[in-house]
Structure 1
Amino acid sequence: MSFEGAIPGAYERRLVPLLFRPYARDLARRLAQRHPRDVIETAAGTGVVTRELAAALPQDTSITATDLSRPMLDHARTLPLARPVRWVEADAMALPFPDGSCDAVVCQFGAMFFPDRPRAFGEAVRVLRPGGVLLFSVWETVVANDFAAMVETAVAELFPTDPPDFLSRVPYGYHDTATIAQDLADGGFTGVPRIETLAERGRAESAEDVATAFCQGTPLRNEIEDRGTHTLDEVTRAVAAAIADRCGTGPVEGALSALVVTVAR
């Protein structure tokens, strides 16, 4: 699963305002209420949460933002921040930090990508101080998220014998609350997690913006290109037309739904 090449730039330009910024602000607000001294962010991507944390947390709170993808971090480093943070290329399942080195671990829409979630949660337990908190968000189902559902349906119609299923399989595939709670327990968290559903609205200037965001700013791009029967531009145009048929040719808006999980060490 690759976030390389043109994906980081398209991700930041298209997906961040469409999907991620409202939830990033929510996570930063929740964390600021806890007054942490040291924060580690995992799966930081292009830094949408990092930027909100830098603006919301006091100047003397240290923020370390990590991601496994160097291209995503390289892009994040080019964007303005309210104050300096530390960027570290790191795997959430093997964090290069000492035991008990932070008061909070935060992760927005990254847990779905972890190959071994209990192991990643175990790393959060290890680096947290007693009383520290893991705060993360994951998407609900594809059908609860309008734009993702429209994109997946439109793409499937172009590849009827082998529909790309990246969206439902990965980013929108980790939403069962019992599974999340069990993975946290298997990782070493002993408390009961608080899991809240948070509804937002996604907005874009056009259906084309939405189609470009999903088809060119996520690894769905790789699945489209690997099939070779339609070009990326052809698929993007077809998806845009399908969204416009439903939402109109002007600015578009759709429902977003995610789970926000809070669990203390």
Structure 2
Amino acid sequence: MSFEGAIPDVYEQYLVPLLFRPYARDLAGRVAERRPRDVIETAAGTGAVTRELAAVLPGETSITATDLSRPMLDRARALVPGRPVRWAEADAMALPFPDGSCDAVVCQFGVMFFPDRPRAFGEALRVLRPGGALLFNVWDAIEANGLSAVAEAAVAGVFPADPPDFLSRVPYGYHDAATIARDLADGGFTSTPRIETVAERCRAASAREVAVALCQGTPLRTEIEARAGSTLDEVTRAVGAAVAERFGTGPVEGPLSALVVTVTR
């Protein structure tokens, strides 16, 4: 699943403030409460959580941010000034770090993209010291995230014979608490995870910003561009119109819902 080309810039400009920033602050605050000496972040993207960690963790705490996509990591590196961060292009399912090398592993909205989640959880367990914790969040069902639900329905209306389902299939497709707990156990965790549903609100200056974020700042873009009949710009306009019809023509505000998971070694 590609996060390359124009996606990293659109992702950072539109998607991060729309969807990710509130949960990045929440996750970084939870990490800070544990007072870790060393933190490893997986699937860091353009650094939404990395920036929050850099802001709230003491200077002596080491932060290592990893991602499988070099373009995303390059974008992140440019946005975290004034604080040493170790950057590494790395696969969350094969972390290039020694056993027991950190007190916290953090992942914001990345677990849904891992082809083998128990394997990735096993890698997090391996690099954690005794008493350390894996903290991550995943989106709740798409129906609980109004803007994304409207966007997917609008895209499906443009391509009724072959509707792109990236949003509900991947980012909003891993929200069953029992499945998450089972995958953690299959990865080797023996403690019971704490899984909390956290509600937030998202805001954008306009419906078009929402449409650009979701249609052009995620791999939904690739699914749209692979289909004939309508261009990316035409689909973006259709999504913008649907969002405006549902949420208004001025500044847009809508519900967000995610699951926040904490599990200790």
Provide the C-alpha distance between the structure 2 equivalents of 1:59 and 1:82, rounded to a whole number of angstroms. Answer: 10
Tell me, yes or no, if the aligned pair for 1:51 and 1:82 is still in contact at 8 Å: no
User: What secondary structure does 2:46 align onto?
Assistant: coil
Which residue does 1:176 correspond to in 2? 176
Residue identity in the other structure for 1:257: S
Kept in 2, the 8 Å contact 1:166–1:219? The answer is yes
SS of 1:134's partner is strand
Instruction: For residue 44 of structure 2, give the secondary structure of its aligned residue in structure 1.
Output: coil
How many Å separate the matches in 2 of 1:211 and 1:252? 11
Question: 1:84 & 1:186 partners in 2: Cα distance?
Answer: 35
* Identical-pair percentage: 78
**Matched residue, 1:246:** 246
Distance 2:80 2:143 in 1: 35
Secondary structure of 2:226 counterpart: helix
Could you tell me whether the CA contact under 8 Å between 2:40 and 2:106 is conserved in 1?
yes
Separation in 2 of the partners of 1:123 and 1:148?
31
Q: Deviations over 1:207-228 (max 9, x none)?
A: 0000000000000000000012
Distance 2:80 2:72 in 1: 15
What's the offset of the Cα at 1:13? Answer: 0.3
TM-superposition CA deviations, 1:121-153 (whole Å, max 9, x none): 000010000000000000000000011101000
Q: Is the 8 A contact 1:54 1:81 kept in 2?
A: no
Partner of 2:222: 222
Give the whole-Å Cα distance in 2 for the aligned partners of 1:82 and 1:119: 34
1:162 matches 2:162 = yes
Are 1:99 and 1:126, in contact at CA under 8 Å, matched by a contact in 2?
yes
User: Contact between 2:50 and 2:80, CA under 8 Å: does it hold in 1?
Assistant: no
| Paired residues of 1:221 and 1:232 also in contact (CA < 8 A) | yes
* Residue identity opposite 1:262 in structure 2: T
Moved over 2 A (4+): none
Q: How far does residue 229 in structure 1 lie from its aligned partner after superposition? A: 1.6
**Counterpart residue identity of residue 94, structure 1:** A
Counterpart secondary structure, 2:199: strand
* Contact 2:111/2:117, CA 8 A, preserved across alignment: yes
Tell me the equivalent position of 1:95. 95
The corresponding residue for 2:52 is 52
Cα distance in 2, alignment partners of residues 117 and 208 from structure 1: 34
Gaps of 5+ in 2: none
Q: 1:1-265 alignment to 2 at 5 Å?
A: 1-265=1-265
Q: CA RMSD in A?
A: 0.6
One-letter amino acid of the structure 1 residue matched with residue 66 of structure 2: T
Partner SS, residue 214 of structure 1: helix
1:63-83 Cα shifts (integer Å, max 9, x gaps): 000000011001111113341
Q: Deviations over 1:79-124 (max 9, x none)?
A: 1334120110000000000000000000000000000000000000
What amino acid is the match of 1:189? Answer: F
CA contact (8 A) 2:201 2:255 kept: yes
Scaled by the length of structure 1, the TM-score of the pair is 0.99
Aligned length: 265
Q: Secondary structure at the match of 1:60?
A: coil
Letter paired with 1:97? F
Conserved 8 A contact 2:107-2:137: yes
DSSP-derived class of the 1:97 partner:
coil
Distance in 1 (alpha carbons) for counterparts of 2:96 and 2:80: 25
Q: Structure 1 regions of 5+ residues with no counterpart?
A: none
Cα distance change on mapping 1:80 and 1:131 into 2, 3 Å: closer
Using the alignment, how far apart are the partners of 1:81 and 1:193 within structure 2? 34
Cα distance in 1 for residues equivalent to 2:254 and 2:81: 29
Deviation at 1:249, TM superposition (A): 1.0
Deviation readout 1:40-82 (Å, 9 max, x if unpaired)? 0000000000000000000000000000001100111111334
| TM-fit CA distance, 1:247 | 1.2
